[in-house]
């Protein structure tokens, strides 16, 4: 923001020997994005690749380039990229949300005031990891159980270890690696991440083999994402091992932080929260579980997530290298291989695109019905999931996960800011995170109204694993056509 104020929307800087061309306006971002070729490159991902090379692993969607990346994306896009693909995971996500709500109930009951969660992002992190593991591997990994299994905890810790130490690993010269602890810690972090993924992939392979031995191949019921990729021949087990851990990494901090920011703002804007509550219970009355098709009737809910991602694009800066040709951007001609940095955080707070850019106004995304609210001005003003063929692979899953959970939370609770939270600032780590823990109070709506219809009012009588009593084992892919009742 300071550089833009000083130099305008385009400036250069050096990161070590690497020249960066920073772009901080929607038209400039658009110019670069629209000129990318068939195989867009973000950056060379040298540090991640070093680990894969050292361990003889194949590259995943973040680390691969060129035709190899293209082929991998063609495979990974199946059952993931289109909204209709994501719809398949509605029931699976609703099951995980059921368990999260039970866990939240317990946490709230244990808090001194009976309605307080001191670190919401932490709770959502575990939810997001559970959800993405269930979708990818059809396995529950115990993140929402009272005692989290050891290898799941080791995975969570190793992600932190890898990211913290990657900073040192990037900037320190290679000769320091054997003298200082950072490189070894960085590699150890990755090793634990991959062994967590390997265990889940091996389990799935065994299941598939057992099914093949037991019956005819065309009788096998293909359910989850990995199962589909392996049995349809889209991905070899080696490619799955190279790719799925990268999907896991991408699918946790992103959704959990966005959900945290969304609830923070809803707690600060009771009038917006109330409008959202009305919208939600009109479509999904208290006690019912949202179905995929219900989400089409929740425009404000979607606008809340869009506005949250505008204010806090978790991927705050992205990049592109255009390898095959010179490109003209902002009236300048740049040589091949120029590294462009796309300053999404700055762009999505540009007052010429979004009036009153620092204020939370979900209604700006509903321009058709709100003539008086300034609408969205530029298609590249807020592109939180990126653009083009290399855009986010998990966008539809992420949106579905956030929409379903937000629906349930707003249906059940009034969310109020806890006094210790105060004003939050953003910190740009690998993703954009709040500068301190976000404490919120969750006031149960049904209980307060005196209507003891919500299961939350019958604490103690709720089974720990909800959603599994319906007699359908494993991941359930089809959205139920009849409304399902919340436990």
Separation CA 337–CA 324 (nearest Å): 8
Q: Which is nearer to ligand HEM, 72 or 108 (CB)?
A: 72
Torsion angle in degrees (nearest 10) through CA of 375, 403, 60, 379: -10
250 binds ligand HEM (CB under 6 A): yes
392 binds ligand HEM (CB under 6 A): yes
Q: By the 8 A CB rule, do 88 and 136 touch? A: no
417 binds ligand HEM (CB under 6 A): no
Position among 93, 133, 161, 393 found at the interface with ligand HEM (CB under 6 A): 393
247 binds ligand HEM (CB under 6 A): yes
Which residues, 265 to 324, sit near ligand HEM by CB under 6 A? 309, 314-315, 318
Residues paired with 342 in a beta bridge: 23, 318
Which uninterrupted H or E stretch holds 442? strand 440-444
Separation CA 15–CA 46 (nearest Å): 15
386 binds ligand HEM (CB under 6 A): yes
Q: What is the smallest separation between the CB atom of 38 and ligand HEM, expressed in angstroms?
A: 13
120 binds ligand HEM (CB under 6 A): no
Indicate the angle between helix axes 120-137 and 90-110, nearest 10 degrees.
150
Position among 291, 390, 408, 445 found at the interface with ligand HEM (CB under 6 A): 390
Separation CA 283–CA 424 (nearest Å): 32
Position among 9, 189, 242, 384 found at the interface with ligand HEM (CB under 6 A): 384
Euclidean distance between the first and the last CA atom of the chain, given in angstroms as a whole number: 47
Which uninterrupted H or E stretch holds 346? helix 344-347
Half-sphere exposure of 93 (CA within 13 A, CB side): 25
Which residues, 50 to 69, sit near ligand HEM by CB under 6 A? 61-62
Separation CA 143–CA 129 (nearest Å): 7
Q: Which is nearer to ligand HEM, 96 or 392 (CB)?
A: 392
Q: What is the smallest separation between the CB atom of 396 and ligand HEM, expressed in angstroms?
A: 9
Q: What is the smallest separation between the CB atom of 135 and ligand HEM, expressed in angstroms?
A: 8
Q: Which is nearer to ligand HEM, 168 or 228 (CB)?
A: 228
416 binds ligand HEM (CB under 6 A): no
251 binds ligand HEM (CB under 6 A): yes
Q: Which is nearer to ligand HEM, 89 or 277 (CB)?
A: 89
Give rounded-to-5 percent helix, strand, coil for the chain. Answer: 50, 10, 40
Q: By the 8 A CB rule, do 133 and 140 touch? A: yes
Q: Which is nearer to ligand HEM, 362 or 394 (CB)?
A: 394
Q: Which is nearer to ligand HEM, 380 or 413 (CB)?
A: 380
432 binds ligand HEM (CB under 6 A): no
224 binds ligand HEM (CB under 6 A): no
Separation CA 365–CA 356 (nearest Å): 14
Q: Which stretch binds ligand HEM (CB under 6 A): 23-31, 214-222, 271-279, 389-397?
A: 389-397
Helix (H, G, I), strand (E, B) or coil at 11: strand
Q: What is the DSSP letter of 486?
A: P
Binding region for ligand HEM (CB under 6 A): 42, 61-62, 73, 132, 246-247, 250-251, 254-255, 258, 309, 314-315, 318, 384-387, 390-394, 397-398
């Amino acid at each position: 923001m300071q550089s833009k104020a000083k130099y305008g929307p385009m400036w250069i800087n050096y990161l070590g020997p690497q020249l960066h061309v920073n772009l901080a306006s929607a038209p400039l971002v658009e110019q670069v994005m629209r000129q990318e070729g068939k195989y867009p490159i973000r950056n060379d991902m040298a540090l991640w690749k070093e680990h894969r090379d050292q361990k003889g692993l194949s590259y995943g969607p973040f680390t691969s380039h060129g035709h190899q990346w293209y082929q991998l994306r063609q495979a990974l896009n199946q059952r993931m990229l289109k909204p209709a693909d994501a719809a398949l995971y509605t029931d699976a996500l609703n099951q995980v949300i059921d368990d999260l709500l039970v866990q939240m109930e317990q946490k709230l009951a244990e808090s001194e005031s009976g309605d307080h969660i001191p670190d919401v992002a932490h709770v959502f992190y575990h939810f997001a990891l559970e959800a993405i593991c269930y979708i990818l591997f059809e396995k529950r990994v115990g993140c929402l159980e009272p005692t989290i299994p050891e290898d799941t905890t080791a995975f969570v810790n190793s992600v932190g270890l890898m990211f913290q130490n990657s900073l040192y690993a990037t900037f320190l010269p290679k000769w320091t690696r054997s003298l200082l602890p950072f490189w070894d810690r960085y590699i150890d972090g990755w090793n634990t991440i991959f062994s967590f993924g390997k265990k889940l992939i091996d389990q799935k392979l065994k299941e598939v083999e057992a099914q093949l031995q037991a019956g005819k191949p065309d009788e096998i019921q293909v359910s989850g994402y990995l199962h589909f990729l392996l049995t349809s021949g889209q991905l070899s087990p080696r490619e799955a091992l190279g790719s799925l851990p990268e999907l896991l990494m991408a699918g946790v901090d992103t959704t959990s932080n966005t959900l945290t920011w969304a609830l923070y703002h809803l707690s600060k804007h009771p009038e917006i929260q109330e409008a959202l509550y009305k919208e939600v219970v009109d479509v999904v009355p208290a006690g019912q579980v949202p179905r995929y098709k219900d989400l089409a009737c929740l425009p404000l809910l979607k606008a809340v997530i869009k506005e949250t991602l505008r204010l806090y694009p978790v991927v705050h800066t992205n990049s592109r290298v255009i390898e095959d040709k010179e490109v003209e951007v902002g009236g300048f001609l740049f040589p091949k291989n120029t590294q462009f940095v796309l300053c999404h955080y700055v762009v999505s707070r540009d007052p010429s695109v979004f009036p009153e850019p620092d204020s939370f106004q979900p209604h700006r995304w509903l321009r058709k019905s709100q003539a008086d609210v300034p609408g969205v001005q530029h298609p590249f003003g807020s592109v939180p999931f990126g653009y083009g063929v290399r855009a986010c692979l998990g966008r539809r899953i992420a949106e579905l996960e956030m929409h379903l959970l937000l629906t349930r939370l707003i249906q059940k609770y009034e969310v109020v800011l806890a006094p210790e939270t105060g004003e939050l600032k953003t910190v740009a780590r690998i993703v954009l995170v709040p500068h301190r823990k976000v404490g919120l109070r969750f006031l149960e709506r049904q209980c307060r109204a005196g209507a003891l219809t919500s299961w939350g009012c019958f604490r103690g009588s709720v089974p720990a694993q909800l959603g599994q009593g319906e007699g359908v084992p494993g991941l359930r892919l089809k959205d139920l056509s009849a409304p399902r009742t919340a436990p």
